[in-house]
Structure 1
Amino acid sequence: MLAITGYSVEFVKDPFGILTGERYEFELDLDVPEDDELHSEDGLYARVIYRVEEGRSGIVKYELYERSTRKYVDFELEDEELSQLAAFCEEHWQEADK
């Protein structure tokens, strides 16, 4: 199970009005147990694009990176972990400055 130890959230502007709903970019600091295959000594963070739209909200895209090197980690999260990230984003997207 992932633990989110810190985060930032920003509103993503759509100057052309092409996208439906609103987008928010999260950077989530992750604490991954040592026995998890995703664990990295360098630490990990997730970059998450979260969409908020009337009637439906959710993760559009996510990427994982090593904290100290900022190197992309090619790894897919399990459904339970994605649900955890989505729930966190749903709880915190309103904190972004527009």
Structure 2
Amino acid sequence: MFTITGYSVELVKDPFGILSGKRYEFILDIEVEEDDELYSEQGLYVRVIYGVDGDQASIVKHEIFERTTEQLLDFELEDDELEAVKAFCDEHVGEA
């Protein structure tokens, strides 16, 4: 598991109106314990595309990056981590 230490959120513009609902991009700074396989001394962040369509909201896509190198890591978040990220996004989506 990880701890979210900082974040930013912004509305993703859809100039052609192709997507239903709205999409938001969250950048979540995370701190991971050293014994976790995801741990990196460089620091990590998760880029989340979060979709809201009416009363339905979900994580459309997520990617994990190493902070200093901007390298995309080939890891997926576990189910409990995804639930925590979704709850965080639910709480902060109104700030975009």
Give the TM-score, by structure 1 length: 0.95
Distance apart, 1:54 and its partner CA: 1.2
Q: Could you say what secondary structure the match of 2:70 adopts? A: coil
Q: Does 1:12 align with 2:18?
A: no
Which ranges of structure 1 fall in alignment gaps of 5 or more residues? none
SS at match of 1:42: coil
Consecutive unaligned residues in structure 2, runs of 5 or more: none
1:48 Cα deviation after fit: 0.3
- 1:24 matched to which residue of 2? 24
2:84 matches 1:84? yes
RMSD, aligned α-carbons: 0.6
Aligned: 1:69 with 2:80? no
C-alpha deviations, 1:51-78, integer Å up to 9, x for none? Answer: 0111310100000000111111010110
What SS does structure 2 have at the residue aligned with 1:94? helix
Aligned length: 96
> After the TM superposition, which parts of structure 1 deviate over 2 Å for at least 4 consecutive aligned residues?
none
Identity %: 64
Specify the code of the residue in structure 2 equivalent to 1:36: D
Equivalents in 2 of 1:7, 1:55: separation in Å?
23
Question: 1:2, 1:11 → 2: CA distance?
Answer: 25
Shift of 1:84: 0.6
**1:50-61 matched pairs, under 5 angstroms:** 50-61=50-61
Task: Give 1:24 deviation, angstroms.
Answer: 0.2
TM (normalized to structure 2)?
0.97
Give 1:37's aligned residue: 37
